[in-house]
Structure 1
Amino acid sequence: MLIRRETRSDIDAIRAVTSAAFAKSDTSDTTGTPDTPVPVETTLLDELRISDDWLPALSFVATGDRDEVIGHVVCTRGHVGSDLALALGLGPLSVHPAHQRRGVGQALVHAVLGAADAFGESLVALLGSPAYYGRFGFRPSTDYGITAPDPAWGDYFQVRTLTAYQPTLKGAFTYAEPFNHV
């Protein structure tokens, strides 16, 4: 497996991996035909890619032995507080079902966190499983005085601070605009 930045030629493969990863378990067709809708995460990714908050340097793919895309992760621009301090929102994270539980997602998360830290970002926020993301240092956002876009998310809205983080960074987290449509 190799983790690298996505290229333009990866976009269709990323859509396919994301669709497969988030497909309903009762169907294996993720083509978006009328009887099998495209997962919302795939549509979100398409909208993020054309938004002003897209950060190409923070979009990574995992490739397999035949250089095929088997996973993808992205961080997009987010903000914290009324002064709109810069932050990142992670997601979606997608691993093709045939490659899940093999460390692909873990490698992708480590890669994007390392890159975000190297770029001087302060923190990464996400909505996800505390059991899964806790292993990467994510903690409930309220531990840092950061509130979720939806209070009902509770401990599922998490933050991972990076080297540039300052404890004075507090307030409501705002995702990139396309997240408001899902």
Structure 2
Amino acid sequence: MTTLRLRPEGPADTGPVRRVLAAAFARPDVLAPPEVGLVDELRDTDAWIPELAMVAEYGGEVVGYALFTRVRIHHDGGTAPVLALGPVAVAPHRQRVGHGTAVVQAGLDAATELGERLVVVLGDPAFYRRFGFTRADRMGLTSPWSGLGDPWQALVLPPSTSGDGPVPRGEVLFPPPWSRV
């Protein structure tokens, strides 16, 4: 029986991850989806957290991907580090069988273990609601995507051994590669 293996991305996964992203975000009017370049560029920044670049492997093939990177919330007292989720992708031939849910949940579990407190995402509310994401603007979080309403979402992670102080509110600042998506 073939099982789904969830793990952090390794050096040999760069090509397979690019292929999953390219296939999942393919559009007839775009030669290379911007999500492929976004991940490549984020790998070379301090936003990259190797333990939170998650792959789903099925039958020895990388079929899913969920990336969590460092972003900051600018608030009255300075800045606070939080996570951004995205992109999330599943190879078209393995969609709608739970791989996307599994790879996102694996990343959320890993983020909780690392003591992270908050994750923001821009995506389909019907998908992200299953993890507990809610509208980020209702949590006092703004971004370049705030005006989109429901797709701009956030999730407060359960407290870990590092404690559970207040969740920061303010403007979410993304690293430069995000401005090109």
TM-score normalised by L of structure 2: 0.90
More divergent stretch after superposition (10-19 vs 137-146): 137-146
Q: Provide the aligned length of Structure 1 versus Structure 2.
A: 172
Match for residue 62 of structure 2 among 59, 69, 75: 69
Q: Which amino acid aligns with 1:68?
A: E
Q: Which amino acid aligns with 1:63?
A: E
CA distance in 2, matches of 1:168, 1:23: 36
Query: In the alignment, what sits opposite 1:37?
Result: 31
**Change in 2 beyond 3 A, CA 1:168/1:93:** closer
Matches within 5 A, 1:33-182: 37-65=31-59, 67-82=60-75, 83-164=78-159, 166-182=165-181
Match for residue 17 of structure 1 among 20, 25, 47: 20
Contact 2:156-2:167 within 8 A present in 1 as well: no
TM-score normalised by L of structure 1: 0.89
Unaligned runs of 5+ in 1: 28-35
Percent identical pairs in the alignment equals 40
Contact 2:73-2:171 within 8 A present in 1 as well: yes
- In the TM superposition, what is the alpha-carbon distance from 1:168 to its structure 2 partner? 4.9
Q: Which amino acid aligns with 1:175?
A: F
**Change in 2 beyond 3 A, CA 1:98/1:42:** same
More divergent stretch after superposition (168-177 vs 116-125): 168-177
What does the per-residue CA deviation read over 1:150-181, in whole Å, with 9 as the maximum and x for residues that have no partner? Answer: 33221211001012454451101112321022
- In the TM superposition, what is the alpha-carbon distance from 1:3 to its structure 2 partner? 0.5
CA distance in 2, matches of 1:78, 1:100: 28
Aligned-residue CA RMSD (Å): 1.5
What does the per-residue CA deviation read over 1:29-74, in whole Å, with 9 as the maximum and x for residues that have no partner? Answer: xxxxxxx611011111111111121110101111111x11011111
**Change in 2 beyond 3 A, CA 1:151/1:166:** same
Q: Please identify runs of 4+ aligned residues in structure 1 that moved more than 3 A.
A: 164-168
CA distance in 1, matches of 2:126, 2:92: 19
